[in-house]
Structure 1
Amino acid sequence: MQKFNYKLNFIFSFLFLLFTTGNLLAQNADKQNWQHLDYAKDSVMGVSADKAYAEILKGKKSTPIIVAVLDGGVETDHEDLKTVIYVNAKEKLNGKDDDGNGYIDDVNGWNFLGKGDKDINYETLELVRQIRKLKQKFAVTLMDSAQMANNAEYQKLLAMEKDYQQQYDETKQTLEGISRFKQLLEAVEAKIGKDALTLNGFKSFEPSNPGEEHIKKVVIGVLEDSGMDYATFKATQVDNGYEHYYEKLNYNLNMDYMPRKELGIDDATRFYGNNHVEGPDAMHGTHVAGIIAANRKNKLGMMGIADNVKIIGVRTVPNGDERDNDVANAIRYAVDRGAKIINMSFGKSYSDDKKIVDDAVKYAVSKDVLLIHAAGNDNNNLDQQSNFPNKRYEDGGTASSWLEVGASGPNNDESLKASFSNYGKTTVDVFAPGVQIYSTIPDSKYRALNGTSMASPVVSGIAALIRSYYPSLSATQVKQIIMDSSVKVNHPVTVMVDEKPTQINFSDLSISGGVANAYEALKMADTIAKSKASK
């Protein structure tokens, strides 16, 4: 479900995560910008970006590269992003389509989730939309029980309804659990007093019943293990968890919710939407954009991987599942705006119209564009389970300039694979840092988030560096360089399989068997570019 997922701490089980937050915030992940560090120098499995700038790129010239962030929105005036935001010089904010591309006032990008001055925030899951579609179809189809039993599409509907009911029941149960915990916690807060909501404050608190004793134990354990202050814990672990499951139950799984119909969006053509690049919830997309290209010279907040990038925001992903038509149109729009790299930190388990997305991907490939996609946060083996969009075309073949990215942690041990990350020996291409990645969020603020959503833009940043400093290299060459130059890992890691910890060789989790590395990639790119130039 949406944007692979800055609220991922709640993907598994709220109460489980409360007791294991220390493991999620793995040792060394508290080093700000750890994704830039070098293993040999810093004992952290970063991508050696700082080393690359110091030893390979110093004194070299580069050309600007446009990177499209297909996401939920990007804050264009963030203090660390405003200098790297794409500006369409041929367009003015005057209510006219000055450049004649069909999109009025698309100065910084486009929003396919809006109409006029209104925007879509929440959406249903693709699962919900497909169930509605099939139920409507079978409501007017006359079949007897034998025909239904032998009808593949009807059996698909039954399987989806079973999946839906399971998700609905689990979501409702989890929301009720978080609600009870939140209510108890806030009662304890009132007794402690707002000025004493600290680790020591909770240690000094004298519980008057078993519920308060439980709250005290949980909060002290999390604060001690994670190093978070109480306000951060409450906001990121409790309030966000409640919000996530409330939204999922009331919007994502709501069979009667149809925001597109309510807004009257006509997406029969490519030319719909508005220029609200930020949208109503730009948390996820702003974080992604910062990882790729936050200003490296202004001494504010953090640094992006790449230093000569223009970010074009293309709002594609609501708080819910993205629609295939929007994804296809967003890819085409990004390509036509000159993007050479498209970052896609989103995905879903069902697809309504894979062909329309495949055709857009083929268009991007034909224009020498590299598409970089987050593998997802469900700890699934993608060799066995579906995830959309993907690089495998419905009519056969694969996209030659597509990178599928899993998430890794900072320690080169059994925890190297992020516990949440999807994987796949034949489907995931490479891993990259995705645990506690510190980056930009709205209102010119910063936060560390987890997810393959964070790993994908790390790779997009590396790709942008290569394409910026070695523009003669094609998208497919850049993809191969990133895979071939990845740091190979030959030891086992712990993967939860059927709810049991299992040891699997890291090399069997992806095609490349490695973690992306900017230094090694640029070194290889330099060699290939020189060889190409000499021919």
Structure 2
Amino acid sequence: MKLNYRFIGYIGISAALLFGCGSTADIISTPIENIDTSPLKVTDLSDAEKKNWGHLDLERDTIPGMAVNRAYTEIIKGKKGKKTIVAVIDSGIDIDHEDLDDVIWTNKDEIPNNGKDDDNNGYIDDIHGWNFLGDAYNEQLEYVRILASGDTTNPDYNAAKAKYEEEYQLWMGRKTQYDQIAQAVKNADEALRKHLGKDNYTIEEVNAIKTEDPAVLQAVQIAQNVNANGIEMSDAVEEIEGIQEQINERLNYNLNKDFKGRTTKDD
């Protein structure tokens, strides 16, 4: 699972909370050699780009798509293809998609929708392959399934246990951190609204605050940190809650040894 791209920005917020108001701690900057030199998209996406972004290219279009258009014009242009059967091992595939017309593999040894395993391979009506997850949406990770099986004779059991313990501690740490950040941002927003006497305020109004109230000073520091990461306080709580949701899904489903998300018996 990939976290919201502002993850690093909110780490900065947590640092501000840990150091507290008025801290003189040094700011650690990212070494210049580690900064991505790829071009950045600095304008809003057009309607066409929003619909077609997956076909675009980071270098050519400054949009991190899959460079499908570039592949057609630079890699496979003028080349004659040959038939290749590709097995997709992923979360799913739309076999009715227009780009896949006449290219989806068909099992010629199976009679469609007759409820029988015509080719005797163990799967009934597997015309275009087989969905091993059934209607599952949330899933345990493979090493979690190995651990949940309790089969200590599995040669991968010890490695799965070590991986699980490492990942569980990592994500529990993130949960604790973001729960604290969420509460701090909510408290800061409430303090600023109360001090300014309005529900909607600008960063300019926050910067102009003159007070000796420690709670308000800390709220100002948090608001400035949030704004420095390109987000308004009014949106910060919602974004952080989105990150919390991702973290909770990781813990409640992917890393939950007791979760059973599959509706088939194909374990």
TM-score under structure 2 length normalisation? 0.52
Does the CA contact (< 8 Å) of 1:95 and 1:105 recur in 2? no
CA deviation vs aligned residue, 1:25-62 (integer Å, no higher than 9, x gap): 76513287334639xxx9xxx989749726x7555554
Superposed displacement of residue 221, structure 1? 1.1
| Aligned partner of 1:177 among 173, 177, 180 | 180
CA deviation vs aligned residue, 1:254-275 (integer Å, no higher than 9, x gap): 3332334xx4x322xxxxxxxx
| Aligned partner of 2:140 among 110, 124, 132 | 124
In the alignment, structure 1 residue 266 sits paired with structure 2 residue 265: yes
Taking the aligned partners of 1:220 and 1:84, their CA distance within structure 2 comes to 45
Determine the structure 1 residue equivalent to 2:203.
203
Change (3 A) 1:96 1:64: same
Taking the aligned partners of 1:247 and 1:110, their CA distance within structure 2 comes to 26
Determine the structure 2 residue equivalent to 1:70.
89
What SS does the corresponding residue of 2:99 show, helix, strand or coil?
Answer: coil
Determine the structure 1 residue equivalent to 2:22.
none
Change (3 A) 1:127 1:99: closer
Letter in 1 for 2:257: M
Change (3 A) 1:98 1:185: farther
Determine the structure 2 residue equivalent to 1:15.
11
Does the CA contact (< 8 Å) of 1:175 and 1:246 recur in 2? no
CA deviation vs aligned residue, 1:141-192 (integer Å, no higher than 9, x gap): xxxxxxxxxxx99987985675366336424323423432564577579954
TM-score under structure 1 length normalisation? 0.30
What SS does the corresponding residue of 1:259 show, helix, strand or coil?
Answer: coil
CA deviation vs aligned residue, 1:271-308 (integer Å, no higher than 9, x gap): xxxxxxxxxxxxxxxxxxxxxxxxxxxxxxxxxxxxxx
Identify, as 1 or 2, the structure richer in strand: 1
Superposed displacement of residue 245, structure 1? 0.9
Determine the structure 2 residue equivalent to 1:469.
none
Does the CA contact (< 8 Å) of 1:122 and 1:251 recur in 2? yes
Determine the structure 2 residue equivalent to 1:244.
246
Superposed displacement of residue 113, structure 1? 0.9
Determine the structure 2 residue equivalent to 1:96.
114
| Aligned partner of 2:40 among 18, 29, 33 | 29
Letter in 2 for 1:71: D
| Aligned partner of 2:229 among 210, 215, 222 | 222
Superposed displacement of residue 129, structure 1? 3.6
Structure 1: 4+ residue segments shifted above 6 A: 10-13, 17-21, 46-49, 89-92, 152-158, 228-235
Does the CA contact (< 8 Å) of 2:146 and 2:156 recur in 1? no
Does the CA contact (< 8 Å) of 1:90 and 1:99 recur in 2? no
Change (3 A) 1:52 1:165: closer
Letter in 2 for 1:217: Q
Determine the structure 2 residue equivalent to 1:253.
255
Letter in 1 for 2:132: F
Change (3 A) 1:51 1:104: closer
Structure number with larger C-alpha Rg = 2
Q: Give the number of equivalent residue pairs.
A: 219
Letter in 1 for 2:203: K
What SS does the corresponding residue of 1:209 show, helix, strand or coil?
Answer: helix
Taking the aligned partners of 1:121 and 1:254, their CA distance within structure 2 comes to 14
Identify, as 1 or 2, the structure richer in helix: 2
Taking the aligned partners of 1:211 and 1:35, their CA distance within structure 2 comes to 39
Taking the aligned partners of 2:167 and 2:180, their CA distance within structure 1 comes to 20
Taking the aligned partners of 1:133 and 1:89, their CA distance within structure 2 comes to 34
What SS does the corresponding residue of 2:89 show, helix, strand or coil?
Answer: strand
Does the CA contact (< 8 Å) of 2:118 and 2:124 recur in 1? yes
CA deviation vs aligned residue, 1:481-534 (integer Å, no higher than 9, x gap): xxxxxxxxxxxxxxxxxxxxxxxxxxxxxxxxxxxxxxxxxxxxxxxxxxxxxx
What SS does the corresponding residue of 1:71 show, helix, strand or coil?
Answer: coil
Superposed, 1:116-195 pairs within 5 Å as 119-134=135-150, 159=162, 163=166, 166-167=169-170, 169-181=172-184, 183-184=186-187, 192-193=199-200
Superposed displacement of residue 112, structure 1? 1.4
Superposed displacement of residue 121, structure 1? 2.0
Gaps in structure 2 of 5+ consecutive residues: 16-28, 43-52, 210-214
Does the CA contact (< 8 Å) of 2:136 and 2:261 recur in 1? yes
CA deviation vs aligned residue, 1:215-270 (integer Å, no higher than 9, x gap): 421332121xxxx89999777x534311111112222333332334xx4x322xxx
Change (3 A) 1:105 1:47: closer
Does the CA contact (< 8 Å) of 2:38 and 2:59 recur in 1? no
Q: Percent identity?
A: 22
Does the CA contact (< 8 Å) of 1:36 and 1:49 recur in 2? no
What SS does the corresponding residue of 1:173 show, helix, strand or coil?
Answer: helix
Determine the structure 1 residue equivalent to 2:18.
none
Determine the structure 2 residue equivalent to 1:478.
none
Does the CA contact (< 8 Å) of 1:37 and 1:48 recur in 2? no
Letter in 2 for 1:221: A
Change (3 A) 1:25 1:110: farther
